[in-house]
Structure 1
Amino acid sequence: MSLSFLLTSLIVIVSPGTGVLYTLAAALTRGARASIAAAFGCTLGIVPHMLAAMLGLAAVLHTSALAFAALKWLGVIYLLYMALQALRERGALRVDARVDARSTLKLIVTGILINILNPKLSIFFLAFLPQFIAVDEDHPVARMLELSAAFMAMTFAVFVVYGLFAASVRDRIVTRPKAMTWLRRAFAGGFAALGARLALAER
């Protein structure tokens, strides 16, 4: 596995996006355990895009305006829904110290949905991974699986670091109502901005 692949992957993963925003939100409102669940869900959400790239479905998204638009607008609607939920005091960003099995599962599922409903991720895998697979590679599928697994492992690790850092300052924020109000507005604005960016995205 080349150093260029690892460095390029790290730059892509560290760049703030929907998954990072969601993981930070989970950490600040529900703590470290919730942030790990959110990071795990976002990482699992990469799997369908990886499979799509391997099966050629990503190429369909790249060439079919209708398929791309359908998935894109589903993603936009979901991000706007997340923005509205963030604004509500009892919504997605409600402060809750308890993280039981049910809430953990919900955090994971939401993380999966956030990444699945992003068509740019499939196209990213279609364009990104082949660059690091030699033309004369004997087992290209196995190689793609290896690179994808490394990308996912790095994603989970980076998101967990983001989440644990946010969780470490959680107590200073959740005890201040005004700070929580502005935090909700900031996350709502972030989700809305990402939704707008996705709406303007082209294949």
Structure 2
Amino acid sequence: MIPLDILGTYFVACLILAIAPGPDNIFVLTQSALQGRKAGLLVVMGLCTGLLFHTSAVALGVAVIFKTSALAFTLLKVAGAAYLLYLAWGAFRSGAMTIEGTGNPVLKNGQLYRRGIFMNITNPKVSIFFLAFLPQFASPARGSLALQMLELGFVFILSAILVFGAIALAAGSLGEWLNRSASVQRWINRLAGTVFVGLAIKLLLTER
């Protein structure tokens, strides 16, 4: 069991890291603004489910593959970039939606949730980050390192839910107002597409 004082320091660090601008923040922001709070929260849950994969990978030592194998890193990186470009293509092709009340998401709940999972799992930097960050707060003297990694991973997920959820709620409120204008909505779709392209390029240029 990790002492509470260490967990407290770790939790604050996690919050700061979650707040810092990055692909996940932007992804939640754009999806929430385009499709509403519910859509954004579903994406958040998908992203955090993806974090379970990375947490388990680090706990089991699988993430070492992505740190030592250039081929595995490159394949996952290309898969993630391809998916981002697919999202960009869809955003550029999207027209204005008819919004009633608080708005209905274009994608079904399951699609939004899976989109968040795929976005997170195909980012190899997350596994490498977990591999580098989590062990700093663990110690063999406190027992099983695998269990400590799981504990730290769940705390990180909690911080991500808090921060990303707040982003989704705030952006969703703005999106409900913006989506009432067809021209503004098309502009947001194009902006989202541009963001996805930028994230794909950034991911492709990422080195181990």
TM-score (norm 2): 0.88
CA deviations 1:101-137 (Å, max 9, x no partner) are x811110001000001111111111111000112422
Percent identical pairs in the alignment equals 34
- Tell me the residue number matched to 1:80: 85
Alpha carbons 1:29, 1:170 under 8 Å: kept: yes
Q: CA deviation at 1:99?
A: 4.9
Say if 2:64 is the partner of 1:59.
yes
1:11 to 16, 20, 23: 16
Give the direction of change, closer, same or farther, for the CA distance of 1:194–1:63 in structure 2 (3 Å limit): same
Give the direction of change, closer, same or farther, for the CA distance of 1:99–1:76 in structure 2 (3 Å limit): closer
Give the direction of change, closer, same or farther, for the CA distance of 1:27–1:13 in structure 2 (3 Å limit): same
- Tell me the residue number matched to 1:195: 200
Please show how residues 93-112 of structure 1 align to structure 2 within 5 Å. Answer: 97-99=103-105, 103-112=108-117
Alpha carbons 1:29, 1:95 under 8 Å: kept: no
Q: CA deviation at 1:147?
A: 0.9
Which stretches in structure 2 are left out of the alignment for 5+ residues?
none
Alpha carbons 1:29, 1:94 under 8 Å: kept: no
How many residues align? The count is 200
Say if 2:145 is the partner of 1:145.
no
Q: CA deviation at 1:84?
A: 1.2
CA distance in 1, matches of 2:76, 2:126: 11
Which secondary structure does the structure 2 equivalent of 1:199 belong to?
helix
Q: CA deviation at 1:17?
A: 2.5
CA distance in 2, matches of 1:183, 1:113: 23
CA distance in 2, matches of 1:170, 1:200: 31
- Bigger drift between 124-133 and 52-61 goes to 52-61
- Tell me the residue number matched to 1:162: 167
Give the direction of change, closer, same or farther, for the CA distance of 1:12–1:153 in structure 2 (3 Å limit): same
Q: CA deviation at 1:26?
A: 2.7
Q: Which amino acid aligns with 1:37?
A: L
Please show how residues 109-120 of structure 1 align to structure 2 within 5 Å. Answer: 109-120=114-125
Which secondary structure does the structure 2 equivalent of 1:45 belong to?
helix
1:44 to 46, 49, 54: 49
Q: CA deviation at 1:47?
A: 1.3
Q: CA deviation at 1:89?
A: 1.5
RMSD of aligned Cα (Å): 2.0
Q: CA deviation at 1:72?
A: 0.7
Alpha carbons 1:79, 1:192 under 8 Å: kept: yes
1:131 to 136, 153, 161: 136
CA deviations 1:52-100 (Å, max 9, x no partner) are 111211111111111111111111111111111111225xx95662359
Alpha carbons 1:86, 1:187 under 8 Å: kept: yes
Which stretches in structure 1 are left out of the alignment for 5+ residues?
none
CA distance in 2, matches of 1:26, 1:103: 13
